[in-house]
């Protein structure tokens, strides 16, 4: 019984026969059909080829072949180079139209000019259309042509605040009615909205000022009187 397993295995296994059969078939087929020819080595063009044969060659093989030149366009003219700082230029151009004398600019440039309007001052702004508006300056916003100041006043015990664009063509004149006694230590006096710090109505101060101005008779007063442009 010990010799039985190898016997059965040999009997049942036909693969070796098949394998040899395949091999024979393959070799036979190969000998009949396939013939290996190596790729012919590239032949250089003959030196001193007469130009008459150039037309028979593809373009890239001709000795006088050059890649076709393509047109290079110059870049469009740069506006950035023409004007280095367009924002400043635009601001200046607009200010030259809106404020030719530069007086209004000096009147509100509170960081540079000494006689300018400062936060805490009471000013009166007259408009070309509409009523004049007087109030305490709470805030001066220096932004080139967009320079504006925030005025606060009270009408019938109701607080009114108004942002006035300083260079607006609608603004006819700006007068300093009263300067602050002490320099304010803040640039933005929003604390004046609290009832504790509110100056209230400036109507009486402005009325006094107008009366004084009328008595002087339109003559320009002292330093704190008038700055009209």
Binding residues (CB under 8 A) for another protein: these are 146, 148, 155-165, 168, 170, 193
Q: How far is CA 174 from CA 89, 164, 206, in A?
A: 26, 11, 13
Alpha carbon distance 12, 151 (integer Å): 112
What does residue 84 show for φ and ψ, rounded to 5 degrees?
-70, -45
3-state secondary structure at position 145: helix
Alpha carbon distance 136, 124 (integer Å): 9
Distance in Å, CB of 177 to another protein, minimum: 19
Distance in Å, CB of 207 to another protein, minimum: 19
Tell me the CB-side half-sphere exposure of residue 106, using CA atoms within 13 A: 10
Choose between 171 and 206: whose C-beta lies nearer to another protein.
Answer: 171
3-state secondary structure at position 218: coil
Choose between 125 and 177: whose C-beta lies nearer to another protein.
Answer: 125
Token pair 């000494």: residue: 114
Choose between 103 and 146: whose C-beta lies nearer to another protein.
Answer: 146
Distance in Å, CB of 175 to another protein, minimum: 18
Question: How buried is residue 192: exposed, middle or buried, by Cβ count under 10 Å (0-12/13-18/19+)?
Answer: buried
Choose between 164 and 227: whose C-beta lies nearer to another protein.
Answer: 164
Choose between 145 and 227: whose C-beta lies nearer to another protein.
Answer: 145
Distance in Å, CB of 92 to another protein, minimum: 20
140 C-beta neighbours (distance < 10 Å), count: 21
Choose between 48 and 129: whose C-beta lies nearer to another protein.
Answer: 129
Distance in Å, CB of 165 to another protein, minimum: 5
Distance in Å, CB of 189 to another protein, minimum: 15
Bridge partners of 193?
A: none
């Amino acid at each position: 019984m010990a010799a039985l397993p190898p016997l059965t295995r040999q009997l049942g296994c036909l693969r070796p026969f098949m394998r040899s059969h395949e091999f024979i078939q393959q070799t036979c087929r190969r000998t009949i059909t396939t013939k290996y020819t190596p790729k012919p080595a590239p032949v250089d063009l003959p030196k001193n080829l007469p130009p008459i044969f150039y037309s028979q060659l593809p373009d890239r093989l001709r000795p006088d072949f050059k890649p076709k030149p393509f047109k290079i366009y110059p870049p469009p003219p740069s506006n950035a180079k023409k004007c280095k700082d367009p924002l400043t230029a635009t601001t200046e151009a607009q200010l030259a139209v809106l404020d030719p004398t530069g007086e209004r600019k000096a009147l509100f440039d509170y960081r540079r000019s000494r006689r300018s309007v400062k936060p805490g001052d009471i000013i009166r702004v007259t408009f070309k259309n509409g009523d004049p508006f007087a109030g305490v300056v709470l805030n001066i916003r220096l932004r080139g042509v967009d320079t504006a100041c925030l005025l606060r006043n009270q009408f019938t015990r109701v607080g009114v605040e108004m942002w006035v664009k300083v260079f607006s063509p609608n603004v006819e004149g700006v007068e300093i009615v009263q300067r602050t006694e002490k320099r304010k230590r803040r640039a933005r006096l929003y604390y004046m909205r609290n009832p504790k710090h509110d100056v209230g109505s400036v109507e009486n101060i402005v009325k006094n000022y107008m009366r004084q101005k009328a008595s002087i008779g339109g003559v320009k007063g002292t330093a704190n009187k008038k700055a009209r442009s």
